[in-house]
Amino acid sequence: MPAILLSIGDELILGQTVDTNAAWLAGRLSGLGIGCVEHRTVPDDLDHIAEVIQQCAEAAKVLIITGGLGPTDDDLTRPALAKAMGVDLTEDPASVEHIASYFKGRGRVMPERNRIQATHPQTSTMIENTCGTAPGIRATLGHCEVFVTPGVPREMKAMFEHEIEPAIQDRAGTARTILTAKLNSFGSGESDIADRLGPLMARDRNPLVGTTVANGYVSVRVRSEHEDPRQAKALLEEALAQAKDKVGPLAFGQNEVALQDVVIALLTEQGKTIAVAESCTGGLISGMLTDVPGSSASVLGGWVTYANEMKAEQLGVPMALIEQHGAVSQQVVEAMASGALEQSGADFALSTSGIAGPGGGSKDKPVGTVWIGMAYREGEAVKAIARLAILPGDREAVRDRSAKCALQLLRLQLMGEDLNQMKWASAP
Amino acid sequence: MPAILLSIGDELILGQTVDTNAAWLAGRLSGLGIGCVEHRTVPDDLDHIAEVIQQCAEAAKVLIITGGLGPTDDDLTRPALAKAMGVDLTEDPASVEHIASYFKGRGRVMPERNRIQATHPQTSTMIENTCGTAPGIRATLGHCEVFVTPGVPREMKAMFEHEIEPAIQDRAGTARTILTAKLNSFGSGESDIADRLGPLMARDRNPLVGTTVANGYVSVRVRSEHEDPRQAKALLEEALAQAKDKVGPLAFGQNEVALQDVVIALLTEQGKTIAVAESCTGGLISGMLTDVPGSSASVLGGWVTYANEMKAEQLGVPMALIEQHGAVSQQVVEAMASGALEQSGADFALSTSGIAGPGGGSKDKPVGTVWIGMAYREGEAVKAIARLAILPGDREAVRDRSAKCALQLLRLQLMGEDLNQMKWASAP
């Protein structure tokens, strides 16, 4: 059952906005065994949109359109779909009420121009928007089932899951099942991970195994295909297990699982708490950890000690130590981690101090030099260790990878694994 | 001069990775007056890639290919381009050396499989990779100029700026110039911003003005078109100035400028410092501020006080206050901000406490309820104020918007503007 994804908006055509919806929808469709034959993007032009909708409806059985349902004059998907269908727009009283109550719930009055979001082509039906104002639209155009959602990813996803997926699942029937999964690792390069995978990556295998790098994670991608959905699943699981075995402890989770998800799960499981003392990462580690729902049970809090005075006054790092070794040093990150542990009473503490750039580098400590500290308790004693990472990339990349190095070190520690498995953060 | 963008990778086709390169390249090309006629994405399949390269080279004058230059067996762009060109691959000794020295600079030895990255089709030339291992490729195929870059955005962007842009700029010559810009605002909804813009948004105007929402920012998009590049620029500037005037102080910057960029610029300009005390945002505000290069001159640091004990012990918030009003209250965020100001000696302090969800909501304080505090000095006295935001969306959205509300309040304060202009954070 061929599907086409149609994204609408000048902002996409001109490159002002990245289209994240197409990837998300492609992933969900391939999970249902539905292959995309095309992905098109058109600007905010009524006639152009209407024409492309007609072309797509002729070529596909399922057409998912995202974008152009906002309340402003450049949102033209509703009239364009009506034009393609050869019908007029009509207003849905229930939707007017829904939109008005959405605004009321936020203490605001519905602007008159939002009323247009309650209109839809005659013979089409509305798809409820559980987290925004614009309802979606479901219509039939020739042999094609057309679904329209807002371009806002959160609203699009909710509509896909509540209404579109169940509707097309019924129609997909006997298609081949394509399943995909990712095994994420952090702490070594793509070549090294590929070497570990070896013949698993042969291009003629099913499941097909590949690697991808994104934001410092090296992910093993697995794609299995079979007529029998259970077989497709079994093949996928087997390849994932083999990949996990080959990659070893640097592999931390599957699909959208991030390092912080695993760290919070381990801390929660072991009933342990953490505090963080950050210099060059400036709050990123705390931000990542507290991004996980339920993290408040393990995260006590932390410090961003950008200024040396903050390191000394808030964490008790001796100013003499900073002067002797510099703020970016083994001694200082160890003292920061110990200080955070003692101040907070946490079981573990992480710390960072480094040169994120673009300025501040020197011959001895070039941009990308980052010390990562970890403190933990052994009986009554506080133990602190440090690791050195030399990270490539710009300020954003150095900060992000530093935070991930710290989280991976803590994860290995919580699992009782050898910290030296981290290729990117070496012992002093 | 029509251009085609070709993205290569199973991870894109299957939706495992979002293609950010296409948007970036489309934006840069339209700035050069070059319109994309198509954007295609193909999987990691040698014959398929070779076939599509041939098709694209027939339809376009410029073809930019991204991805498939990694060191592993599923990286097939090099042999596919050679096949499309009808030539063999050859090894470039200088590139072998460049790759080996890249690894050496990071204290590692070049894995043997990276050697393949130094190969390229005969008659093609290499494009230097200033921030990674894989060189790019420049080739001619019929009437089409073909450029190949790695899929890693950082490496692709560096190659575009250093080699591809100068090369195609020469060829673009007399084309129409299309210029685009965005004016970003934060703190009010899209309908309200559209109302303020009024007739500026008519669909038949040049420049064309539209609105887009992304990550809480409502952006006014402007697109001007003219044969004369200077006229295109003048039209763009005029429309931007009009939009800025209509939107008012909630508009904070253009294009990729973020709230934190403006806040750091204002603090630096005024010689002021800041400290942050975060509960529900858990480090995000600090992370945003320290993301800005040079922020260390104004950001002293901060606290993530997730646990109530941390609020009391580190910031001196009276435990009785927390017990009486709850941690999510006007009184507590004001005390957090004052505490952070006094502890750090900073000129300004921001604080947050709220219910990010998914758990923790109640009838009185539903998920999305966030108090934002700000403290500042008036002579010897410390003044603290608070604002209440009721934010829609999931945990990530609530945390992100809370951080942005805090930054926008500080920005308005630094500019001497009325804080009540912030529609999303109201006075108690």
Distance from CA of B142 to the nearest CA of A (A): 26
Of all residues in chain A, the percent with pLDDT exceeding 90 is: 70
- All residues of chain B having their beta carbon less than 8 Å from the beta carbon of residue A393 are 131, 154
Number of H helices, E strands in chain B: 15, 17
Task: Mark which residues 46-65 of B lie under 8 Å from A by CB.
Answer: none
Q: Going along A150-269, which residue ranges are E strands?
A: 177-185, 208-214, 217-226, 251-254
- Cα separation, A331 vs A349, whole angstroms: 15
Packing angle between helix A330-344 and helix B308-315, nearest 10 degrees? Answer: 110
Mean pLDDT on B162-182: 79
Decide if B393 and A154 are in contact by the 8 Å CB cutoff.
Answer: yes
Decide if A72 and B223 are in contact by the 8 Å CB cutoff.
Answer: no
pLDDT at A418 > cutoff 70: yes
A427 touches chain B (CB under 8 A): no
A100 touches chain B (CB under 8 A): no
- All residues of chain A having their beta carbon less than 8 Å from the beta carbon of residue B399 are 290-291
B357 touches chain A (CB under 8 A): yes
Inter-residue contact B350 to B372 (CB < 8 Å) = yes
Decide if A190 and B70 are in contact by the 8 Å CB cutoff.
Answer: yes
Decide if A303 and B305 are in contact by the 8 Å CB cutoff.
Answer: no
Q: Give the pLDDT confidence score for residue B347 in this predicted structure.
A: 98
pLDDT at B37 > cutoff 80: no
**Helix or strand run (H / E) with residue B300:** strand B299-305
**Cis peptide before B358, with omega less than 30 degrees from 0?**
yes
ipTM: 0.78
**Environment class of A92 (CB within 10 Å of its CB; exposed 0-12, middle 13-18, buried 19+):** middle
- Cα separation, A58 vs A77, whole angstroms: 18
Q: List, in order, residues 6 or more apart from B411 with CB less than 8 Å away.
A: B252, B259, B262, B263, B266
Decide if A211 and B70 are in contact by the 8 Å CB cutoff.
Answer: yes
B316 touches chain A (CB under 8 A): no
A vs B: CB pairs below 8 A? 302
- Cα separation, B400 vs B395, whole angstroms: 9
Test mutation, A286, A309, A350, A405, chain B, max B CBs within 10 A: A286
Q: Give the pLDDT confidence score for residue B278 in this predicted structure.
A: 97
A419 touches chain B (CB under 8 A): no
The structural domains of chain A, ordered by start, are 3-172 (3.40.980.10), 177-254 (3.30.70.2860), 259-421 (3.90.950.20)
pLDDT at A105 > cutoff 80: no
Distance from CA of B211 to the nearest CA of A (A): 8
Q: List, in order, residues 6 or more apart from A92 with CB less than 8 Å away.
A: A118, A119, A120, A126, A135
Mean pLDDT on A380-397: 94
B18 touches chain A (CB under 8 A): yes
Test mutation, B25, B76, B129, B191, chain A, max A CBs within 10 A: B191
Q: How confident is the model at residue B139 (pLDDT cuts 50, 70, 90)?
A: very high
Q: How confident is the model at residue A172 (pLDDT cuts 50, 70, 90)?
A: low
Decide if A203 and B299 are in contact by the 8 Å CB cutoff.
Answer: no
Tell me which chain B residue has its CA closest to the CA of residue A67: B212
- Mean pLDDT over each residue of chain A, to the nearest integer: 92
Shortest CB distance from B344 goes to which of A208, A278, A310?
A310
Closest CA to B60 of B6, B141, B4: B4
Mean pLDDT on B277-285: 97
B2 touches chain A (CB under 8 A): no
A203 touches chain B (CB under 8 A): yes
Test mutation, A108, A110, A191, A215, chain B, max B CBs within 10 A: A191
Give the residue carrying structure tokens 């596919």.
B80
Three-state DSSP at A381 gives strand
- Cα separation, A372 vs A351, whole angstroms: 6
Cα B76 to Cα A258, B10, B43, B68, distances in angstroms: 29, 11, 10, 5
Cα A325 to Cα A318, A319, A331, A333, A354, distances in angstroms: 11, 10, 7, 11, 13
Decide if B286 and A291 are in contact by the 8 Å CB cutoff.
Answer: no
Pairing state of beta strands B136-141 and B125-127?
A: antiparallel
Three-state DSSP at B341 gives helix
Distance from CA of A87 to the nearest CA of B (A): 23
A284 touches chain B (CB under 8 A): yes
Mean pLDDT on B411-420: 97
Of all residues in chain A, the percent with pLDDT exceeding 70 is: 99
pLDDT at A174 > cutoff 60: no
B416 touches chain A (CB under 8 A): no
- Mean pLDDT lowest for which of B103-107, B289-293, B328-332? B103-107
B217 touches chain A (CB under 8 A): no
- Cα separation, B128 vs B28, whole angstroms: 20
C-beta neighbour count of B216 within 10 angstroms? 19
Test mutation, B4, B7, B10, B16, chain A, max A CBs within 10 A: B16
Inter-residue contact B392 to B213 (CB < 8 Å) = no
Give tens-digit pLDDT for A199-223. Answer: 999 888 899 999 988 889 999 999 8
Q: Give the pLDDT confidence score for residue B173 in this predicted structure.
A: 59
C-beta neighbour count of A334 within 10 angstroms? 22
Shortest CB distance from B306 goes to which of A190, A299, A392?
A299
Burial A322-331 (b: 16+ CB within 10 A, else e): beeebbbbbb
Q: Give the pLDDT confidence score for residue A175 in this predicted structure.
A: 62
Decide if B211 and A72 are in contact by the 8 Å CB cutoff.
Answer: yes
pLDDT at A192 > cutoff 90: yes
Give tens-digit pLDDT for B297-350. Answer: 999 999 999 999 999 999 999 999 999 999 999 999 999 999 999 999 999 999
The pTM of the whole model exceeds 0.90? no
A174 touches chain B (CB under 8 A): no
- All residues of chain A having their beta carbon less than 8 Å from the beta carbon of residue B194 are 71-73, 113
Distance from CA of B178 to the nearest CA of A (A): 10
**Helix or strand run (H / E) with residue A353:** strand A348-354
Of all residues in chain B, the percent with pLDDT exceeding 70 is: 99
pLDDT at B4 > cutoff 90: no
Give tens-digit pLDDT for B340-373. Answer: 999 999 999 999 999 998 989 999 999 999 999 9
DSSP B109-148: PPPGGGGGGGEEETT-EEE--SSSS--EEEEEETTEEEEE
**Environment class of B271 (CB within 10 Å of its CB; exposed 0-12, middle 13-18, buried 19+):** exposed
pLDDT at B175 > cutoff 80: no
Q: How confident is the model at residue A173 (pLDDT cuts 50, 70, 90)?
A: low
B208 touches chain A (CB under 8 A): yes
* Alpha carbon distance, N-terminus to C-terminus of chain A: 57
- Cα separation, A88 vs A121, whole angstroms: 6
Decide if A359 and B294 are in contact by the 8 Å CB cutoff.
Answer: yes
Positive or negative: CA dihedral B92, B96, B97, B98: positive
- Mean pLDDT lowest for which of A127-131, B175-179, B273-277? B175-179
- All residues of chain B having their beta carbon less than 8 Å from the beta carbon of residue A14 are 26-27, 30, 178, 180, 221, 223
Inter-residue contact A6 to A65 (CB < 8 Å) = yes
- Cα separation, B299 vs B286, whole angstroms: 8
Q: How confident is the model at residue A393 (pLDDT cuts 50, 70, 90)?
A: confident
- Cα separation, A394 vs B291, whole angstroms: 11
Task: Mark which residues 235-264 of A lie under 8 Å from B by CB.
Answer: none
Mean pLDDT on B94-98: 90
Of A48-62, A321-335, B50-64, B151-165, which has the strongest mean pLDDT? A321-335
Closest CA to A39 of B10, B148, B12, B26: B12
pLDDT at A179 > cutoff 90: no
Shortest CB distance from B72 goes to which of A72, A194, A396?
A194
pLDDT at A400 > cutoff 70: yes
C-beta neighbour count of B298 within 10 angstroms? 24
More confident residue, B277 or A16: B277
- All residues of chain B having their beta carbon less than 8 Å from the beta carbon of residue A28 are 15
Shortest CB distance from B212 goes to which of A11, A281, A397?
A11
**Encoded tokens for B306:** 């997730």
Q: List, in order, residues 6 or more apart from A134 with CB less than 8 Å away.
A: A69, A70, A71, A117, A150, A155
Q: Going along B142-194, which residue ranges are E strands?
A: 144-149, 177-185
DSSP B206-222: SSEEEEEEETTEEEEEE
Q: Residue B205 — φ and ψ, nearest 5°?
A: -85, 155
- All residues of chain B having their beta carbon less than 8 Å from the beta carbon of residue A219 are 16
- Mean pLDDT over each residue of chain B, to the nearest integer: 92
Mean pLDDT on B389-395: 91
Shortest CB distance from B14 goes to which of A113, A180, A299?
A180
Give the residue carrying structure tokens 């991970």.
A193
DSSP state of B90: E
Q: Give the pLDDT confidence score for residue A246 in this predicted structure.
A: 97
Inter-residue contact B357 to B289 (CB < 8 Å) = no
Decide if A191 and B12 are in contact by the 8 Å CB cutoff.
Answer: no
Q: How confident is the model at residue A33 (pLDDT cuts 50, 70, 90)?
A: confident
Inter-residue contact A376 to A348 (CB < 8 Å) = yes
pLDDT at A259 > cutoff 70: yes
DSSP state of A426: B
Inter-residue contact B119 to B89 (CB < 8 Å) = yes
Give tens-digit pLDDT for B113-135. Answer: 889 999 999 999 999 988 888 89
Q: Give the pLDDT confidence score for residue B419 in this predicted structure.
A: 96
Give tens-digit pLDDT for B209-258. Answer: 999 888 899 999 998 988 888 999 999 999 999 999 999 999 999 988 99
Test mutation, B41, B304, B388, chain A, max A CBs within 10 A: B304
Decide if A304 and B286 are in contact by the 8 Å CB cutoff.
Answer: yes
Q: How confident is the model at residue B392 (pLDDT cuts 50, 70, 90)?
A: confident
- Mean pLDDT lowest for which of A174-178, A179-183, B187-191, B192-196? A174-178
